[in-house]
């Protein structure tokens, strides 16, 4: 037997519609985001789940609630799964950040593993460090079966890079992560194996094709 970790990015929010920096802003799901959460639950509720780990933010909790209700599992909230802190960039568009913090923005685009967003933002290395504690907890407590992790765009991409041995500084360049997408990593004696990346077959076609990130 092996452990399969299902990484689910939360459903649509107002920031995912615009591509702005949301980070630790505690946004709610949009009505469409709520539909996405229900669609995931409807598709995956028949599976046997050992545990559900969730970032303690409104958008991730709301995404996890339908599946937890359907399978009778309690969410295990973990701070280590929160989205990257974007410091003074939070709530701003990419164009606003480029205009107001050009040097920091260029440095972050060039090497986000070590260059943080302006004003107390996190590096990819810092996100990987806190998220790795959750991954270690999952592997220790659930050596086999299916575990669901509900988290965020940057966090999931960084965790995948860390598990698969990819350069953390390239997490934005190597891995996409649309809203409500599922990625699956299988862990066995040979280490992590990426089985599925950014699947959204659980969504109705009209939701799959919506613009946004």
3-state secondary structure 89-139: HCCCCHHHHHHHCHHHHHHHHHCCCCCCCCCCCCCHHHHHHHHHHHHHHHH
State pLDDT tens for residues 10-32.
999 999 988 889 999 999 999 99
- pLDDT tens per residue, range 65-80: 999 999 999 999 999 9
Decide if pLDDT at 90 tops 80: yes
Could you give the domains of the chain? 3-85+123-208 (3.40.50.1240)
Report the predicted TM-score, pTM, of the whole model to 2 decimal places.
0.96
Contacts of 27-33 with C-beta under 8 Å, sequence gap 24+, read: 27/58, 27/59, 28/58, 28/59, 28/62, 29/58, 29/59, 29/62, 29/63, 32/207, 32/210, 33/59, 33/62, 33/63, 33/179, 33/180
For residue 213, pLDDT beyond 80: no
Confidence check: pLDDT of 145 > 80: yes
Cα separations in angstroms, 129 against 45, 59, 92, 122, 189:
31, 22, 26, 11, 23
Task: With cut-offs at 50, 70 and 90, classify the pLDDT of residue 209.
Answer: confident
The β-bridge relationship of strands 182-188 and 191-199 is antiparallel
Residue 63: in which H helix or E strand, if any?
helix 58-71
Where do runs of H (alpha helix) occur along 142-170? 153-164
- pLDDT computed for residue 212 by the predictor: 65
pLDDT above 80 for 59: yes
């Amino acid at each position: 037997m092996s452990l399969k970790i299902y990484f689910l990015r939360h459903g649509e929010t107002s920031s995912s519609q615009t591509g702005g920096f949301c980070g630790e802003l505690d946004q709610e799901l949009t009505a469409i985001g709520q539909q996405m959460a229900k669609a995931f639950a409807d598709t995956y509720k028949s599976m046997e789940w050992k545990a559900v780990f969730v970032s303690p933010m409104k958008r991730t909790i709301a995404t996890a609630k339908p599946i937890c209700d359907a399978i009778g599992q309690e969410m295990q909230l973990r701070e280590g799964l929160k989205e990257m802190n974007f410091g003074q960039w939070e709530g701003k568009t990419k164009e606003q950040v480029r205009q107001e913090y050009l040097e920091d923005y260029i440095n972050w685009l060039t090497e986000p593993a070590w260059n943080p967003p302006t004003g107390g933002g996190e590096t990819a290395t810092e996100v990987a460090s806190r998220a790795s504690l959750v991954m270690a907890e999952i592997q220790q407590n659930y050596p086999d079966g299916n575990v669901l992790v509900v988290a965020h765009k940057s966090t999931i991409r960084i965790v995948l890079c860390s598990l698969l041995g990819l350069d953390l500084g390239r997490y934005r360049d190597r891995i996409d992560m649309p809203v409500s997408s599922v990625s699956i990593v299988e862990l066995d004696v040979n280490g992590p194996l990426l089985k599925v990346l950014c699947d959204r077959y659980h969504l109705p076609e009209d939701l799959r094709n919506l613009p946004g990130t």
